[in-house]
Structure 1
């Protein structure tokens, strides 16, 4: 006879590491228990995350967790899931646990070396694809602060005539972007290098993409734990007013663009007008504003009015 375990009670007692009395459980019970444990941490959708972690830990699909709920699990299988639930209970990002984040319907490898791609940043890709919507023999794109490479690689995935360079000050992030380019079979058209924005580059580009750090330094510790405790502060810290990186980038852009070349750059909440004024001092005219999924102005598009 199969021994049943009272998962909700086990979770209530806080015995997240207790496995001594476990022999077999069913899949539904494990998901119920994991959802209760994660729910105590304040996650927005704990049951969904529980299902994702169980499927990842057991090496099965999400669909299998739905239609095979009576499946009996051995203690060894529970032991595969337990550390994942513990890590997520500590508010480690789900993407760090699985090592994967979907962006623009593509899978990107992620880790502690770079910012986790956000859905809001897809508006930069949308803006870039609008600019590159007419087929050309070739187009050259620069991605400043490339991180995982998600912006550049997403654009290249949609436009076969695009080649690009991604620059990041972090060697670890550059290695991550290179791995993602190989994962997506785009490495023959994409190059990644370590650098301070565009300072070391001497060529010009048709389009520049950029998602710089724009969080105010004093506000980082107040962000959700997944961000403040686990993501690299180098990729978050925009100085006292959140605009320090824009001040470094702005003087370089006209030198890096062909005449009438374009820039798609991400901005934080309430920063758009300040960035527009700053960029206008360096020969860059505002071409368009684009909002993210929440209706926040998130992407500014500029055109190079003068090259230096």
Structure 2
């Protein structure tokens, strides 16, 4: 089946596929015909026979039997004015997926608990096929009501600053005027999600640390928000540079921002975007965000 994607979407999808190893549920059946092999005898197995029963979504989009797992499972959350203060079933914060270790009983967590009463957990998924099944059955950002938000976060991470995975991090974000970007925001959000689940935001993941293992991904989640006059797309990170001593981390964070600006949003590297209701692609730590804009921003 020929792909209808192009540019960053195709690249991110390929990254998701290449980062995964598909299980072959027919392998045991292929070996079942060789039970009469004599002890010590090596039986040659036809790879063509093994592959004959494998059907992927690309060869059979309705009856595929092999999925392409993602590097990490993800969860989509949603809220809007219509989900607030409604007598709908709620998921208590204690029952929501958490990062390892209990949440400390701080005032910040209490505030997050109140906010999480309005957010809805839509679904979790862990394969390319399940992602597209979800994406093809939800309302695109351009059609969402005002003040609505989609949050796509790695499973086990709550889309709140107070989560253990987020509290020491920050976010890249861009704000775009609604009237000029209504036709583009759906594509931008799709490419942002694909880059997140394909693990292409963090360029350092392609290198090995001294132990021979790739570093942990900086990305915890991505968000799109609709407001009366603008859209905002954000990428949340688990760490944020705290000073000059964090030079290597700052370089890594800047790599995320440049990839977001050029490969995902499609802007030239030296483009200036600021204007009425618009911002540049900016990074701010969550701790500095609490200072109401007084923190030091990184701009690419």
The alignment's TM-score, normalised by the length of structure 1, stands at 0.28
**Which structure's relative contact order is higher, taking Cα pairs within 8 Å and 6+ residues apart?**
2
The alignment's TM-score, normalised by the length of structure 2, stands at 0.29
